[in-house]
């Protein structure tokens, strides 16, 4: 083999090695960022749960929030079982349940607002008692 061919092979090997190292370093950096992000999120969630464990809040719109409840709410027609993250609210005559921190689901539409409020209070009481399932 002549010198130019050996130089070309050496250059190709160096370039391939360099590219492989860059790929590995990029993957490693991405994984480290994921682990740090997950750790921070977990730490924050645990800290907030500890701080808010026995507290409840009522927002201006009437939303009642009990952070991280474990109560599940069974719809009146028994077709849906919603985990209740903590919030309950009424939109018109519809009872809504917070299933995640930023997700609300319509649980049931009632004929009157008073019926919706009664159902909300029933769920609120079940949450305060620590019941695992409440049936409306």
What is the mean predicted confidence (pLDDT) over 120-126? 88
| Predicted TM-score of the model (pTM) | 0.49
CA neighbor of 117 nearest in space, from 84, 136, 89, 76: 89
Closest CA to 76 of 103, 110, 105, 100: 110
Q: Is residue 66 very low, low, confident or very high in pLDDT (cuts 50, 70, 90)?
A: low
Rounded to an integer, what distance in angstroms lies between the CA atom of residue 46 and that of residue 42? 6
Angle, vertex CA 6, rays to CA 3 and CA 11, nearest 5 = 125
| Span 24-62, pLDDT tens digits | 887 878 887 777 766 665 666 555 555 555 566 677 777
C-alpha 75/C-alpha 44 separation (Å) is 32
């Amino acid at each position: 083999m002549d010198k130019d061919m050996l130089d070309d092979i050496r250059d190709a090997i160096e370039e391939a090695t360099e590219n492989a190292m860059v790929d590995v370093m990029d993957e490693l950096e991405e994984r480290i960022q994921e682990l740090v992000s997950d750790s921070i999120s977990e730490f924050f969630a645990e800290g907030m749960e500890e701080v808010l464990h026995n507290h409840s809040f009522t927002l201006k719109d009437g939303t009642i929030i009990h952070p991280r409840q474990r109560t599940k709410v069974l719809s009146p027609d028994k077709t849906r079982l919603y985990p209740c993250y903590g919030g309950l609210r009424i939109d018109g005559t519809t009872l809504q349940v917070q299933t995640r921190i930023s997700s609300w689901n319509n649980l049931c539409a009632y004929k009157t607002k008073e019926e919706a409020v009664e159902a909300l209070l029933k769920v609120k009481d079940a949450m305060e008692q620590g019941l695992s399932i409440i049936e409306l």
